[in-house]
Amino acid sequence: MRHRIAGGQLNRTSEHRLAMRRNLAASLFEHETISTTVQKAKHVKSFAEKLITLARKGDLASRRRAIAILGNRNIVEQTDKGYEKKGTVIGKLFSEIGPRFLDRNGGYTRIIRLSKNRLGDNGQLALLQLVGVDEKVEPKAKSKKKKAETVKAVAESKETKVAETDEVPEQATE
């Protein structure tokens, strides 16, 4: 019987579950959003949030604990010349992701269920993503509007300045 045993088995051995959890968490930190099944996303969510909590502390002991728990996988990008190393997962976790959530007390990830099912086994797919991913996109859209408004304001101010310079200023006598 499995009374009071947390976490699902996912039809895997304990070593396979641990490796899968580490790989999914590292991919989440690398890409900030991943597509997987709902069950795997629920399984990885608490693991990833505990690592982000370690990253919020940011001290050396937390960094070493995170390396021991997750491993320190390289982030590699393919270019025309070959493969280029961009950093490590732990480096990105502690330098970018941890500081992003300093003012947040939890709930660093979200699971969004997709309407698609996987072709092979008809498993329900979901997106597992960090919460701050959408917040990056919104200010860019607003800044374009503001930029357009400021360009119009600058053009109008230039027109008024040109109109003011065309008039000859009168000397004030007091």
CA distances from 88 to 37, 66, 109, 173 (A): 26, 12, 20, 72
Please report, for the domain that includes residue 59, its CATH number.
3.90.1030.10
- Give domain status of residue 125, yes or no: yes
In angstroms, the CA 91 to CA 66 distance is: 10
Q: Which domain holds residue 73?
A: 14-131
Q: Is residue 80 located within the same domain as residue 160?
A: no
Q: Is residue 43 located within the same domain as residue 94?
A: yes
Q: Is residue 87 located within the same domain as residue 150?
A: no
Q: Is residue 70 located within the same domain as residue 103?
A: yes
Digit-coded pLDDT (tens) for 108-160? 999 999 999 999 999 999 999 999 776 543 334 445 555 566 656 656 665 65
Which is nearest to 97 in space by CA: 129, 141, 65, 60? 129
pLDDT band at 94 (very low <50, low <70, confident <90, very high): very high
In angstroms, the CA 85 to CA 30 distance is: 13
Predicted TM-score of the model (pTM): 0.73
Cβ pair 123, 42 in contact under 8 A = no
Digit-coded pLDDT (tens) for 39-80? 999 999 999 999 999 999 999 999 999 999 999 999 999 999
Q: Is residue 112 located within the same domain as residue 137?
A: no
